[in-house]
A and B are shown apart, each in its own frame.
Chain A
Amino acid sequence: AQRVTQPEKLLSVFKGAPVELKCNYSYSGSPELFWYVQYSRQRLQLLLRHISRESIKGFTADLNKGETSFHLKKPFAQEEDSAMYYCALGAGSYQLTFGKGTKLSVIP
């Protein structure tokens, strides 16, 4: 069975500091990995997908199959980045498996 682990429930960083939100997964096949974000009083929305290798709002994430990780990174945190971040795994059968989430708090 697939599993997604986000080891940090809460991550606090100062504005301008680098951010790394950790995500590890367990799946025997070829995974599709995503980061979803939920800002205060807003809907959960897709932030990044590993297949597009894009940078959104300054965030990037690289799939490391050897370490089964998909960490989310940003070089300089902004106050508007404060939100709940979920790593998610698509592993066939149309089902997304979410991690438990990490709350990012950017301190001014």
Chain B
Amino acid sequence: NAGVTQTPKFQVLKTGQSMTLQCAQDMNHEYMSWYRQDPGMGLRLIHYSVGAGITDQGEVPNGYNVSRSTTEDFPLRLLSAAPSQTSVYFCASSYQMAPYEQYFGPGTRLTVT
């Protein structure tokens, strides 16, 4: 099993550009989530999903959009990139029966200039 995969590993965007960060898992986990990791701030939840077709906002959802059309995939869209979105983004997944025991992807390092 590949576990949780994320692409790309690195990305540089100009202010105002849009892009999609990809996340996929092959463990048949119901629950998936996106976090951003900033120095001194820890991990903050952006959006999460408890199953296909169901998404909800986390702590810092502004500027991001998600959808969950399949169990396996949970892409994160940046609508109009801003320098404040420079961060490392992590995708995670877990079983519904143990939602807090999360498996993390390797992360995407995004720089917005």
Looking at A12-20, A41-49, A53-61, A63-71, the stretch in contact with chain B turns out to be: A41-49
Docked Cα-Cα span, A34 to B102, in Å, equals 10
A95 touches B106 (CB 8 A): no
User: In angstroms, how far is the closest chain B Cβ from the Cβ of A92?
Assistant: 10
Which secondary structure dominates chain B's binding surface? Answer: strand
User: How far is A106 from B99 in the complex, measured between Cα atoms in Å?
Assistant: 32
- Residue numbers in A under 8 Å from B31 (CB-CB): 94
Task: Tell me the complex Cα distance, A43–B33, Å.
Answer: 15
Partner of B42, one of A34, A49, A90, A99: A99
User: With A and B bound together, what is the CA distance between A90 and B97 in angstroms?
Assistant: 13
CA distance A72 to B92 in the complex (A): 23
Cα–Cα, bound, A60→B99 (Å): 22
Q: Does B53 contact A (CB under 8 A)?
A: no
Known: A43-B104, A43-B105, A44-B104. A94 touches B99 (CB 8 A): yes
Instruction: List chain A residues, Cβ under 8 A from B48.
Output: 94-95
Chain A residues within CB distance 8 Å of chain B:
6, 9, 32, 34, 43-46, 49, 86, 88, 90, 94-101
